[in-house]
Structures are given as structure tokens and as C-alpha cells.
Structure 1
């Protein structure tokens, strides 16, 4: 287990796009960075590239895990806990949008929900104690303005029946935002002041994201290409929320281009956020930050 008090950051989905840019920027700012990734070869290449830019004496490590596989998330969290004494920044960046056919994770959950929401929810819960060991920890959840197209229903959280990959993606991004807000509320309720959390829209980033989805989704990305932002630009709000002093005490916000924005969704209510939390606990088999009776 590491004992030195260097700042430590864990970035998921760190082998491509804004995840790589975020991890690289943190390394360049002196963080000991842990890359959580599915693909060992990509992770090794990314680690090597970023290590060249890290501060002298600062490491870039790899933690292999498929976030859609909750058993792997538990194993990765246990490995992290054994190797490191604290965590200062957790960037839940990994995400996907699927093709026409509904797919399921190893645990039997709809794959978009598992990767984009359940995996990050479980990982955050399992690493909360490590975050609490930091004097000032931050949890950054990468959402998307696609949440505006969400039409969630607690009866079909797994997006069964008539399947739409973009609807599944939009729903998962709204869940990211609601999870962030509810997490912030519960942290405050329990008097935990040294851990904050915020979510963000990175912009429509020009990358391979969505390339395996439906023709309609691919057509959208192609038509939008001239207006897309680069991964470097898309990562700036993640980096800002992870490091900027001016947002150190802000928690529960949703940011676009480094500025807070209101969340425009009628589904985003306190009652629904509580219910989403409860459903997420049931689906992941974890409980954390339980509300006091009558709260």
C-alpha cells in the first residue's frame, strides 16, 4: 500500500478520448494517476505515454476492470483498497452507446445501464472510505446534455421491450446527474464535508464514440462532425471540476463549459432521486450513505 501523501486520482475509461486527456492533465499537474480500463494492451500503451509526462517520482498505474461487470468492479475496488491508502479524485468517465440490439452484461443487466450508471455507482460506493481519507476529495461524473432526451421509467429501468440505444444512453446520463445530486445531498446530510461531487456535459466530442451504434446515431455524429469539439476541449470541464480551487466547496452541480447549469428534466425530483438510489443499491447489491429515519 502506498503511504506517501501525493495526490492520487483514479480515472475510468482512461484509454481513449476525454478520459486519456483528463488522466494526462492530472499527471501533468503532479497527481499519481490510476487508469481504470478494460483492455490491457490499450491501458499499457496509455500508461507508457502518460508516464513520460508525469512529474518525477509520480507513477501512472493501471487497474483492469470492465465496469459493466459488477463482480469485476468489486474485485478492482478491493485491489485499489489494498494498494492505496487514500483517493483524492475519482473521475467516473467511462461510458458507451450501443447498437440496435439490446445487450446484457455478465450480471444480466442492460449493458448501457450497467456500464454508464451501475458500475460507477458501485465503484463510488466501494471507494467512498478511501475518498474520506483525503482532506479534500472530489468525485467527477461525466454525464451529457443527452439527458434532455431521457424518458426513464422505474418499471423499465433495464430498458426492456422496444429497445432504443439512444434512449438507453440518454436515460443513463440523466441517472448520472441524479446520482451526483443525491450523493451530494447525502454527503451533506451525514456531515461529510471533505468529499464533493459534480457532474458535467463535455460537449459532443469528435471520437469513435457511437461508431458501433445504429445508422441513425452514426448519421447524427457524421452530420454533427463540423460542430464537434476535440477530446482536448471536451476534457476541460472534467479537469476543471477535478482540480480548480474555485469549485472546491461546490457539490451537486451540473456544469457545461466550466459553468453551472440548471438541469431541465421533469423527472429530476428529490423523490425520484431517492428511488433511483434505492433501485441502484438493489441492482448492485450495495448500500451506502443510508438516510436517517424520517429524513
Structure 2
């Protein structure tokens, strides 16, 4: 429970916009980049001079976010581009990847950041999958697999672990990971949406671990990040009283962005860390199936 408790009182971040090296010439994709953690992450990467693809379903929200990000860093040498895709509609993902690959020959970090939590009971994706499974796991899995050729090329041209895939998980993994994932629960109409959310976040861990096994030998580092307890749109489907009750325990979304920054750029991480879950400050759980903690 040490890591769970630490997320209520997170350590000081070691990598922020203040000391992130220049990212000029590097290319990033951030899903769900126009709000919350994703927005803060896009803002930092753009400020550092990177080329950022802000991926999401709403062009209107994305363009507004892009305008706000550019206003916040008027002297940046970075670029930021909207990439249209809907993670809960698998037919939109291949066209998005094709559009990206028609322009880019490298991808330094893919941030599988977007997520949905506790939508109305019975919510499903375009293909009929439970909405949280579809958005948090299936869509990101397909996106990652289609982008693997570009990630492999980037890793080949750079050093091992320079190309990375960051999966955003949740503190809920620390309390449910021992139970694994029960796919049957996604198919039952009476399964609670909170339980399905837990399954999807543990699922992110398993997907990251499998990708580490699949692509680690190609120099691609795949890790999971627990962003911490944050004030974000992720709680929009909860009863109205819940955000007020837990507000004193929540932090600004930028703290979640700092967690992802560390996982994406820390030179401390190597290919052998693939499949691990990291929290702010570098605490980690190595891989599904064996639980231990390290400061």
C-alpha cells in the first residue's frame, strides 16, 4: 500500500517544463490531448520544440486547445497538429495512422493517454464493445500496432529505448491487479461500470507488458504510468457529489503530465524496464505477476 498512499502526497517531480531538454526534431502523438493531462502534456512538448500530433475525436475542441497552447508559448519552435481519430470506432484508426505516416518517417513517443471512466451503464463502442474496454484498451492497442513500423524505424536510427510507448493507467491497478482481467465481465450487461474501468486499466498494464515482449528487442520501450490522483474530465460521469468529496485529495492535471514526461524521457529507464508501471518520482511495479516496490 506504500505506493497507493504516496499518490495522495506525491513526491516533487524531477522532470518538468523547466528542465526538459529541447525536443526539436522529435515527433509525438498524444491521444486525448485537448483536455486534462493530455492538454498539459501537449503544451509542454510543444513548448520544448517538438512536433506534436494531438489525437482525438473533436476537431473543434482540438483546434481550440491548439490555439491556447500556441498562445501560451508564442516563441516556441514546435509544431502542433490535429489528428482525427475515435478510439471507440476502430474504423477511424487506420486512416489516422495512414495520414500520420504519409507525413512522418519517425515517431519518438506515443502517449496512449486518452481514457473514459464510468460512462452510463450499457455504453458501447461503434463495434459493440463495452465502451471503456474499447476506448482504454482496444483502440489504443490497434493504434500502437499500426504505428509499430514507424516506432521500429525510429528506434533503429536512434539508441535502444529512445522510441517509447506510454500507457496511462490508474491508481486502481494497485488495488485490483492481483485479480487480473476477467473478459467475461465486459460482455455481461449487469457488470458495474466501475469494475469494467478497473479491468480496462489492468488491461493497459497487460498490453504494455505484451508490447514490451513483442517490440523490446527492436529497441522500443513500453511502460505504464499511474498519473496520480488528479482533477480532470475523467470524473465527468461520476455522481455530482463525488468530485467535491475527493477534491482535497486531487492534484492539478499537470502532475499527471509530469509522470508521463519522466517515463518518456528519463535516461534511467532501459529496455529491461519494459512492462513496468511507474508513478511520479519513479516508484514502480516491475511487471504483471510479481509485485514489489522501489523508490
Which TM-score bucket, shorter chain as reference? 0.7 to 0.9
- Within a 5 Å distance, the mapping from 1:14-29 to structure 2 comes to 14-29=33-48
Q: Which residue of 2 aligns with 1:229?
A: 251
Rounded Cα–Cα distance in structure 1 between residues aligned with 2:167 and 2:114: 9
Answer with 149-158 or 200-209: which moved more: 149-158
* 1:169 equivalent in alignment to 2:181: no
Say if 1:181 and 1:152 are closer, same or farther in 2 by CA, change over 3 A: closer
Q: Structure 2: which 5+ runs fail to align?
A: 1-23, 291-295
Shift of 1:71: 0.5
- Within a 5 Å distance, the mapping from 1:110-149 to structure 2 comes to 110-134=130-154, 135=158, 136-147=162-173, 148-149=175-176
Q: Which residue of 1 aligns with 2:20?
A: none
Say if 1:81 and 1:107 are closer, same or farther in 2 by CA, change over 3 A: same
Shift of 1:93: 0.3
Task: Check the 8 A contact 2:112/2:166 in 1, yes or no.
Answer: yes
Rounded Cα–Cα distance in structure 1 between residues aligned with 2:74 and 2:276: 30
TM-score by length of 1: 0.80
Task: Check the 8 A contact 2:182/2:199 in 1, yes or no.
Answer: no
TM-score by length of 2: 0.80
Task: Check the 8 A contact 1:27/1:54 in 2, yes or no.
Answer: no
The SS at the match of 2:34 is coil
How many corresponding residue pairs? Answer: 257
Say if 1:232 and 1:55 are closer, same or farther in 2 by CA, change over 3 A: same
Shift of 1:152: 5.3
Rounded Cα–Cα distance in structure 2 between residues aligned with 1:153 and 1:19: 26
The SS at the match of 1:131 is helix
Q: Which residue of 1 aligns with 2:11?
A: none
Runs of 4+ in 1 over 6 A off after TM superposition: none
Answer with 8-17 or 91-100: which moved more: 91-100
Q: Which residue of 1 aligns with 2:108?
A: 88
